[in-house]
Chains A and B, each alone.
Chain A
Amino acid sequence: MPIAFVIGLLIISSAPAHAYIDPGSGSYMLQIGLAGILAALFTLKTQWHRLRERTAVMIAAHSHGKKHNQG
């Protein structure tokens, strides 16, 4: 995932250079350029955490039921 992230950033950064400096505009443009990657990574991370939580709950419930049946 980090490799795809870096490649994506490098593609986005290949914009033409301009002499006029506006720090606010650069931050603004970078966010627009990165928006897709940032949103995708964040969504993936959120889904992954949800999946892990659900799996942990299911495993816990399963082992609890097993113990209950054995007892």
Chain B
Amino acid sequence: MSVSVDPASFRDPCGFVFRRDGVLYRQVQPRYSRDYDLLLGSGLYDSLADAGLLVRHSEVDAAAAVSPGAYRVLRPEPVPFISYPYEWCFSQLKDAALATLRIQKTALGLGLGLKDASAYNVQFVAGRPVFIDTLSFERYEEGAPWAAYGQFCRHFLAPLALMSRVDIRQGQLLRLYVDGIPLDLAARLLPGSSKLNPGLLAHIHLHGGAQKRCGDGEAQRHAAGRTVSRTAILGLLDSLEGTIRKLNWQPEGTEWADYYGHTNYTDAAMESKRRLVGEMLDAVSPAPRGVWDLGANTGAFSRVAAERGADVVAWDVDPAAVERNYLECRKSGATRILPLLQDLTSPSPGLGWASAERRSLLQRGPADVVLALALVHHLAIGNNVPLPAVARFLQAAGKWLIIEFVPKSDSQVQRLLASRPDVFDGYTREGFEAALAPHFETVRVADVAGSQRSLFLLRARPMAAHLEDSGPAPYLN
């Protein structure tokens, strides 16, 4: 029997999350009893859960608790895949922000409020943002300011404003600042014209300035006897919502946004590839439940896996591709696809306290199946990653692999080589198969009709075998 407390669940003394035999539980401590009873008794839990805004849970026997004296032990409904705000596209962060504000407004109406507004408390389940921290609610005290206002601005408003007004890539600052982008930094990075927007002026520029100016004792002396009415809090939420709704980003002009318009695939070749990917997925046993589509672009092949009932994470390095995929999934109701941002040449690392609060990409695997379609040439030639190193990474990422080999003669590879010397002597079909052989056994190989490309269905060898032969990565040339 194994029990482990989640390394991200240590700040709030009201409770924590743990796993027992692989099942996720949440222990509620006695100090949270009053707020927990109010969450349920006020109807807030039902209201939010019915609206799909809060993760549902069931109460289980307190004997399941990790430590004695637990008030309750909850078993939340599982979230298929944990993602982080620095992996979300613009619209995902915006939707998560608006969901958080809606939750806070609903809570205020029933006499509670959010005591924290961390973006990490939101996860995407079936394509929608869902709040997962059941213990974030507390009784609303009349006259008290919103305690989570600063955190909300750091986690949501500041990155959204920077992505919208400066550069979409500034969302990656969330990877550096795990408790959100400092508001004085956001104020310095935003253009001067942002001060003409009342919401950005108040919630970022003045807010950042106020945080710098107010010392501990000074703030308490000024605040003595002064309160913030419920109407003012509703006004604050309304102002935040209006500001965020007006922040937009149009995905255009990035490298990959029009990729499918620039591929060398004929319609027949695309259809052949789609059919082969489907057949290979059908050949995997047991049927895959979790699929990672690496380099998914706008998710054409993610859909092939999702149609077969798998939950697919559609990773791509391009914010425009992820944005388009998310908007398309939202529009079409493709609930099994989760588009996320990922640079495979520098994948999400372990972050936060002890580098363990936010898990690395590979720590969240392995997936049942990894799709690596039209990817390997970008890693091996575009980024000089040796093929054996690519193979080792993919072995750690998934139990099965469907991978496409794109030969040097392919026009897409020629495009990559057009502006650089060809130092990739080992980039051949034989070199590709030799690099994969120590890590995978080949189940099927098929040529994509109407192209020079081939698809491989491979089963990963046990990792122990991989560890035994993992020496320094031999360069291909």
Residues of A within 8 A of B (CB): 2, 5-6, 9, 12-13, 15-43, 45
B232, A9: Cβ atoms closer than 8 Å: no
Interface of A is mostly: helix
Nearest CB in chain A: distance from B236 CB, A = 5
B231, A43: Cβ atoms closer than 8 Å: yes
A9, B201: Cβ atoms closer than 8 Å: yes
Of A23, A32, A34, A38, the residue contacting B150 (CB under 8 A) is A23
Closest to B215 in A: A20
Residues in B whose Cβ lies below 8 Å from that of A42: 231-232, 234-235, 238
Of B11-19, B166-174, B217-225, B255-263, the stretch lying at the interface with chain A is B217-225
Residues in B whose Cβ lies below 8 Å from that of A24: 147, 150
Residues in B whose Cβ lies below 8 Å from that of A30: 149, 202, 206-207, 210
Instruction: Please tell me if B191 contacts chain A, counting CB pairs below 8 Å.
Output: no
Residues in B whose Cβ lies below 8 Å from that of A25: 211, 214-216, 218-220
Instruction: Please tell me if B229 contacts chain A, counting CB pairs below 8 Å.
Output: yes
B215, A27: Cβ atoms closer than 8 Å: no
Of B216, B226, B227, B239, the residue contacting A22 (CB under 8 A) is B216
Instruction: Please tell me if B198 contacts chain A, counting CB pairs below 8 Å.
Output: yes
Take A18-B214, A27-B150 as given contacts and tell me if A32 and B223 are in contact as well, using a CB distance cutoff of 8 Å: yes
Instruction: Please tell me if B213 contacts chain A, counting CB pairs below 8 Å.
Output: yes
Residues in B whose Cβ lies below 8 Å from that of A41: 235, 238-239
A26, B239: Cβ atoms closer than 8 Å: no
Take A21-B211, A25-B214 as given contacts and tell me if A31 and B238 are in contact as well, using a CB distance cutoff of 8 Å: no
Take A27-B145, A31-B145, A39-B235 as given contacts and tell me if A22 and B202 are in contact as well, using a CB distance cutoff of 8 Å: no
Instruction: Please tell me if B30 contacts chain A, counting CB pairs below 8 Å.
Output: no
Residues in B whose Cβ lies below 8 Å from that of A29: 210, 214, 219, 222-223
B228, A35: Cβ atoms closer than 8 Å: yes
Of A19, A32, A33, the residue contacting B215 (CB under 8 A) is A19
Take A2-B198, A25-B220, A43-B231 as given contacts and tell me if A31 and B212 are in contact as well, using a CB distance cutoff of 8 Å: no
Closest to B230 in A: A39
Instruction: Please tell me if B209 contacts chain A, counting CB pairs below 8 Å.
Output: yes
Of B182, B207, B216, B229, the residue contacting A27 (CB under 8 A) is B207
Of B209, B219, B235, the residue contacting A38 (CB under 8 A) is B235
Closest to A24 in B: B150
Instruction: Please tell me if B265 contacts chain A, counting CB pairs below 8 Å.
Output: no
Residues in B whose Cβ lies below 8 Å from that of A15: 210, 213
Of B213, B234, B238, the residue contacting A16 (CB under 8 A) is B213
Nearest CB in chain B: distance from A12 CB, A = 8
Complex interface residues of chain B between 402 and 455 (CB less than 8 A to chain A): none
B214, A26: Cβ atoms closer than 8 Å: yes
Residues in B whose Cβ lies below 8 Å from that of A39: 229, 231-232, 235
- Can you show 18 pairs from A to B with CB atoms below 8 A apart? A9-B198, A13-B210, A15-B210, A20-B215, A20-B216, A25-B215, A25-B218, A25-B220, A29-B214, A31-B145, A32-B145, A36-B232, A37-B235, A40-B235, A41-B235, A42-B232, A42-B234, A42-B235
A32, B226: Cβ atoms closer than 8 Å: yes
Complex interface residues of chain B between 157 and 187 (CB less than 8 A to chain A): 182
Nearest CB in chain A: distance from B155 CB, A = 13
